[in-house]
A = this chain, B = another copy of it.
Amino acid sequence: MLFHVEMTVNLPHGLPKAEADVLKATEKARAQELQASGKWRHLWRVAGQYANVSIFDVKDPGELHDILSTLPLFPFMQVEVRALCSHPSAIAEDGS
Contact = CB atoms under 8 A, between A and B. Distances in A.
**Interface SS of A by simple majority:** mixed
Interface residues of A, number: 53
B32 A82 contact: no
Interface string A32-62: 1001100000111111111011010000111
Contacts of A65: 45, 47-48, 85
B47 A88 contact: no
Give the interface centre of A65, A86, A88, A92 by most chain B CB atoms within 10 Å: A65
Interface of A: 1-5, 11-13, 15, 27-28, 31-32, 35-36, 42-50, 52-53, 55, 60-62, 64-65, 68-69, 75-76, 79-92, 94-96
